Amino acid sequence: MASARVGVVGATGAVGTILTRMLLDRGYDGLRLFASARSAGKELHGIRIEEATPDALAAGGLDVALFSVGTSNSRELVPHAVRGGTVCVDKSAAFRLEDGIPLVVPEVNGERALEHDGIVANPNCCTIPLTCVLKPLHDAVGLVRVRVSTYQSVSGAGAQAMERLRAESQADHDLRMDWDFDGEEFDEESKLREETRKIMELPGLPVSATCVRVPVLVGHAESVWIETEEPLSPEQARQILAAAPSVRLEDFPSPGKAAGEDEVLVGRIRPDRSVDGGNALALFLACDNLRKGAALNGIQITELLLDRVAA
C-alpha cells in the first residue's frame, strides 16, 4: 500500500498537514500534495505542492485523494477528480448525507466504504468519536435515545482560528457558537444527529445535540447520555468499551490527554439518575479532532479502499 498513488488536497490546512505527516510516517512514497494557488510551488516535507485546479485533478494519476478543503471547494473539485478515475475521501460536509455515498467510520461500518461510486465521505469530527463509543454499546443492549453536548476546540474551525486564539488575551476567552443557525439549532447539531443515524443505520434514533466551541487549541470533548433497551451497568459498559476498537478507558478524559493520540478516550461512566430502571448511563469522551476526528479516520478509509485494490 505504501507505493499506492495517494494525494492530499488541502495539504497546507490544519487537517491537511496532519494527514500529510501521518501518511509519510506510514511509509507512503509518491505522495502528491495539492493546495490553493497561494501555496502552489512551495514545499511541504520536501514535496512540491501543486495547485488544486479542476484540470489538475481530472488528469488522474491517483488511486485515492483525501480532500480537506471545505464544503464549497469539495463540491467544485471532487467531481473532477472522480472523472479522472480517482476515488475521493472527502472530509467536508459536501457529500456526507447524500444518498448512495457511504459515510464511514471504519470501526463502525467499514464495509460500507467498499460500496462507493467514486466518493466516500469522512464524518464530522464529533460524529466519529461518538459513533466509536455508541456502536459497541448499541450492539450489546440497543440504543433508545442519545443526548450529547460537545465542547469543541478551535482547530475544528481551521488554522486561522487557531492563530486567533493564540493571539487572544485570556480575558477575551469565551465560548463560541460559530456555526450556521436556522433559528432553532446550529447546522453542527443537525449534522451530528443525521450523521450518527446514517453511520449507525438507525434512521429513527432520537439524538439531541448542543454544540459549543471552547478556547482550547486541539481536542474535542463530549458529554453523552444514553438510554438503552436493556439494562446496562457502568461496569458492563466499561467492559464493552475496553474491548472496542480505537477506544481507551480513561478515568477523566480531556482534550489535553487526547491531543496527539489516535484513540477515543472515554470515562466518567455512571448511571444517569434522571432516568429510572437502570437503562440509562452518562459518560464523557475526548478525541484529537485533527487525528482520529479527521485525518486518521480518512487514512483508515483509504487503506480499506487500497486493500481491495491490492486483493
Q: Which residues of 280-307 are buried (b: 16+ CB within 10 A; e: fewer)?
A: bbbbbbbbbbbbbbbbbbbbbbbbbbbe
Amino acid at 12: T
Amino acid at 284: F
* Closest listed residue to residue 227, CA positions, set 210, 207, 249, 197: 207
What are phi and psi for residue 306, nearest 5 degrees?
-70, -30
Is 211 one of the catalytic residues? no
What are phi and psi for residue 164, nearest 5 degrees?
-65, -40
Sign of CA dihedral 33, 37, 42, 48: positive
C-alpha cell at position 249: 478507558
Is 220 one of the catalytic residues? yes
Catalytic residue among 80, 88, 116, 125: 125
What is the spatial distance between Cα 70 and Cα 72, in angstroms, rounded to a whole number?
Answer: 6
**Residue-by-residue DSSP string for 195-222:** HHHHHHT-TT--EEEEEEE-S-SS-EEE
User: Could you tell me the CA-to-CA distances from 94 to 36, 123, 143, 147 in Å, in that order?
Assistant: 19, 10, 28, 25
Q: Residue 88: exposed, middle, or buried by beta-carbon count in 10 A (0-12, 13-18, 19+)?
A: buried
In contact, 295 and 266? CB cutoff 8 Å = no
In contact, 181 and 250? CB cutoff 8 Å = no
Catalytic site residues?
125, 220
